[in-house]
Every structure is written in C-alpha cells, then in structure tokens.
Structure 1
Amino acid sequence: MSVAPVSPAAGYLGGKRNLARRVCAIIQSVDHDGYAEPFVGMGGIFFRRAARPRFEAINDISGDVTTLFRVVRRHYQALVDEMEWMLAGREEFNRLRAIDPACLTDIERAARFLYLQRLAFGGKVVGRNFGVSTTTPARFNLARLRASLAAIRDRLQPVVIERLPYGDFIRRYDRASMLFYLDPPYWNCEDDYGAGVFDRADFERLADQLAGIRGKFLLSINDTAGARAVFSPFHTRSVEVTYTVASCATGNGKRVGELLIANFPLNDAAGAAPGV
C-alpha cells in the first residue's frame, strides 16, 4: 500500500537522512508482506518509506523512544498541550536534561524527550548539549511540530510498537516474507546510546542470529574492518555518507563509507558503489 513519507519528529544519533533514499529504494525492491525494525530510533527510515506492507512492527530498547511513539499515537492533543509553553532556550534545555524521566508521566516524558532531541546538537542521546544556529530558526517550534506529529500519529495507527531486546524482537517476528531493516549502533560508537545498551560482542551475536532467520534483512553500519569481518558471510555494498557528530569515531562532517549488508543480493540500482 502506498503511503505518504513522513519526516521524523526530531534528529537522533545515527539517523539516516543522507542514506534514506538508497535504503528505501532497496526496501521497496524486496518482496515482503511484513516489515520490522529492531532499532527504530526516531524512525529515520521507517517514516520515509513510500509504501507499507500488511504488517509492520517497530522496536527500540529506549523507553524514551517507545513512550514518545505511544503518546503521539494515543494522546496527540495532550502532548501538544504539554508542549504549548515550552520555549527554546539553554536554561530550559539544561533544566529538562537534568530531570529523571522515570519521575514523569508518560506525556511529560514524551514532551521532554522530544524537546531535548529537537534542540540537542547532532541528535545525541547521551551527553546532550544545547545546539543553536545564528542563521536558522529555533528547531523547537510547536507551530511547525503540530502538523508533523499529526502525520506521525496517523502513520503509526496500524503499527505494533515494542520495547524488547533486539534478539527477542527478531525471534518474535521472524517468518518467511518478513523484511527486517536494522540500524544498530555504529562500530566504535557502541556507548553513544548509554553504557551496556549495546556492546561490541553484540555485533557477533546479531550476525549469528541473522544467519539463521527465515525472513530477509537489510542492515546499515559504518564501514570498518571489524564490521566487514563480522558480517562477511552476507552480501555487502559500500556507499558514501556524511557524518556530522564528532563523538562517533568516523569524524565530524567527513565523507566516509557505510556498509549496506543483506542476506539477499544488493544491486547497483540503490546507488551503491560497485565492486564491493
């Protein structure tokens, strides 16, 4: 079924804005009647697709992410009301950053998370810093956010939202005709989502699990020798993207390689570099 692509509500570390066109082209070319994302983040790929199958499920281990999506879908107006008087400012950013989200209601937690992600430099989720530009409007602007959140609310209506460890999610939803898109933490950047969320050994565990699934998968990760070694049993293609978050080992604002990895052949139609 055709759907209108939707812009994610905020930036997120590892977001796929620069890679989305190529990833979505591959997804659209693969025959599937179910679609699932174990590491959905803010939905940089999920929301940008122009078609959806009969079944969709998204997952993230982050309680902030899953709470935001549940609240947008079920309590859109209450969320908008909660953010009505929020102002884009460093003092307010620091105040909200210091609050333990576990002490908030779901609606308050969703509003806090969205506010911080809209204003945090580089979409960081750990060690956030207030980001501001002297040449563009403030990124937290409720007048513009309302329409975006309404579109996300409508897009999420038929979608299953989970908060499971990635391995449990894959086992639960794996079947023939299922397509998984995976966007795990980048190699050498595992701690950028919090200590213990995803460790270096998880790459091997993930590769072992993907080798035995019945469905198909497409995975994107930064191009490193370690990632190439771990995922060497699968089809790979390399592409160039620009990373902008200096904390990630790839650098700041540099053209670097990213790997697309799948358990089906990847052709050049998606804009990947040949010969890989």
Structure 2
Amino acid sequence: MSDLLLPRPFLKWAGGKTQLTDALLERMPIYFNTYHEPFVGSGALFFRLYRERKIKQAILSDINAELIDTYLAIRDHVWEVIQLLSEFPYDKSFYYQIREKDPWSMSLAERAARMIYLNKTGYNGLYRVNRQGKFNVPFGRYKAPKYLDKDNLLAASLALQHVEILCLPFETVVERAKPGDWVYFDPPYAPVSRTSNFTSYHANGFALKDQERLRDICIDLSKNKVYVILSNSDTAIIRSLYAMPFFAVDEVQANRAINCKGAKRGKITELVITNYPVERTVQLCLLEQGLPYLNECHPTGACPCCCSAALRRRS
C-alpha cells in the first residue's frame, strides 16, 4: 500500500490511542468478523487496523454529533473540506470568529472544516464543550499548525468509504454486534485525580454511573459471544468494576499526551481489559478444536487443550 494511502488520525483527541495501539494489537483476536468502535474519537485503532490490513468490515460510532459529522464529511465530501481548509488563515481573530459560529447553521463540509481547524489550532488539542454544548477551548499558539493535511484527509476518506458511521450512544452496540465480532471501547477515562477529568467531550459528561453501564454492556456482549477489549485508567474503581470471571485485566504503559502542565506528561499505567485470552497459542488451540475462546467459557482458566497453563487468570 502506497504511503499516500496510509491514513492516520486527522483529529487530536484527549485520550487518543495512537500511543496504545501496539498494546491493543498484541491483544486482538486472531479472527473476528466486524470491528466496532463506539467511542471513535480520533479513530487511532481503526486507522492502524486499516493500515495493516487487519480489518474487513467496521462500524464507527459516537454520541458526539459534530465528531460524527466530521467523519461523514471526510468520507463523502473530502474535497469540499480540503477546499474550505485551504481558505482558512491561522489567525487568532479568525479562530474566535469561527468558534462563535453555530455549527448547525453550516453545511456538513463547513461543519467538518470548522471542527478540524479548531481542533488543530485550539489550545493543547482539546475538544471541550460547556454545559450548553458550545465549544470553549481558547486559541492555541503554534508555529505552523497542520490543519490542512491534504494527503492524509484523502487517505482517511478512502479508508472510510465502506465504513458505517453512526451518531449513537455506546450501549446501542449490543443491537449491532454479532457473535464473533470485535468491539473496542475507549470511553472517557475515569479520573485519576480531581484535576485530570477530560470527560467534557459531550455536554452531559461521563460519570461513574456511565462507567457502570459500560461494564454491564461488556457483560451483555460477552454473553452474546462478542469479543470485547476496553482501555481505561488504572484506578481502584475501574479494577473493581471488572473484577469478575468475564474479564482479564492487563497493565500497560502509555504516554500522557494532554496535560496543562508539561511536567505531568509522560509514562503512566493504563488498563487493557478483555473478555478473551489474549495469548495467540491459546486462541489457535481453541479455534482448531472449534471451541469459543471467551473467558466466560473457561472462567477458572481451565482450557481443555494443551494450552491450559496459558489460560490461567492474570491478576
């Protein structure tokens, strides 16, 4: 595949998983049908899977309507978006002028161009809204922000051509995901401190009750033989939510990409949670015997094959 056809995320996103994709790919199912990403954000894992030709069908969704409209515009009207971005100056007064515009008075392409421009020129790459749902990130200071990346936008448009893109709450994935599908949940992370909450990507935020609802959805998907992988912050709350036989919990090192204080950026521990054994030898052994490899099928880690030792639960 030509480098010009290798798409990467075209948006910055708090909690974006570019730095975590290696760990996620190491833990992916060997075989799956449709890929689902109900908190699509920057789509870092989707684009990585596409670049490595590990994906056949995908459904991307999010509750953030402006985000989803941006994906739709890149898929269906990419040249219009490129033309609009080419006319946008990098200027503080222009930034606040376009920030104040009502996105819902614009065309789909105009709304997407506004989203990309504000995302790439706003402070620290944040997407944040107030309780009225209005974007309120201040102007950033960059030498040459790359809000017009023609080659990558064209590559992203190509990658999205046969992808279903939906503006729906995460819990609706249970209505779409079929046995053998793979779902990646990248929710707004549970805060590790009072000052580290980046859940304002939607006016209603994402509270503990939402984390609990997400855990319940993961259980429902497990019962329906759907493969689930989820990333979240390493906190006692998240560990307690997933402390049950359905799930295996791994610690991984990730980069903290967004923090107002540079000294607090760097390596942190995050959790990657699955409802299936991630060891390739175990997956292959079970598949060869025609057995499912969801953890609920072997809750004690007793695999009925030569790979039983590798299936023992990880703490």
TM-score w.r.t. the length of structure 2 is: 0.76
Map residues 176-255 of structure 1 onto 2, 5 A cutoff: 176-188=179-191, 189=197, 191-213=199-221, 214=224, 215-233=226-244, 234-246=247-259, 252-255=264-267
SS in 1 for 2:151: helix
Q: Is the CA contact 2:36–2:60 (under 8 Å) kept in the aligned structure 1?
A: yes
Map residues 98-137 of structure 1 onto 2, 5 A cutoff: 98-126=100-128, 127-134=136-143, 137=144
Report the alpha carbon displacement of residue 246 of structure 1 after superposing the two structures with TM: 2.5
Q: Is the CA contact 1:244–1:252 (under 8 Å) kept in the aligned structure 2?
A: no
- Runs of 4+ aligned residues of structure 1 deviating over 3 Å after TM superposition are 266-269
2:48 is aligned to 48
Report the alpha carbon displacement of residue 90 of structure 1 after superposing the two structures with TM: 2.1
Distance 1:111 1:231 in 2: 39
Letter paired with 1:204: E
Alpha-carbon displacement from aligned partner over 1:220-260 (angstroms, at most 9, x marks no partner): 11111111111222101001112132269xx8303211000
Q: Is the CA contact 1:191–1:198 (under 8 Å) kept in the aligned structure 2?
A: yes
Q: Is the CA contact 2:254–2:270 (under 8 Å) kept in the aligned structure 1?
A: yes
Map residues 55-66 of structure 1 onto 2, 5 A cutoff: 55-66=57-68
Q: Is the CA contact 1:12–1:122 (under 8 Å) kept in the aligned structure 2?
A: no
**1:175 matched to 2:178:** yes
Distance 1:111 1:100 in 2: 13
1:18 is aligned to 19
SS in 1 for 2:268: strand
SS in 1 for 2:27: helix
Alpha-carbon displacement from aligned partner over 1:174-224 (angstroms, at most 9, x marks no partner): 211100011000102363223314222011111112112120010011111
**1:164 matched to 2:164:** no
TM-score w.r.t. the length of structure 1 is: 0.87
For 1:155, which of 142, 153, 159 is the aligned residue? 159
**Aligned positions, number:** 261
CA pair 93-267 structure 1, distance change in 2 beyond 3 A: farther
Report the alpha carbon displacement of residue 5 of structure 1 after superposing the two structures with TM: 4.5
Give the share of equivalent positions with the same residue, in percent. Answer: 26
For 1:259, which of 228, 252, 271 is the aligned residue? 271
For 1:71, which of 53, 66, 73 is the aligned residue? 73
- For structure 2, the 5+ residue unaligned runs are 129-135, 192-196, 282-312
Distance 2:231 2:92 in 1: 34
Deviates more, 1:9-18 or 1:116-125: 116-125
Distance 2:25 2:96 in 1: 36
Deviates more, 1:153-162 or 1:114-123: 114-123
For 1:83, which of 64, 81, 85 is the aligned residue? 85
CA pair 111-56 structure 1, distance change in 2 beyond 3 A: same
Distance 1:125 1:25 in 2: 29
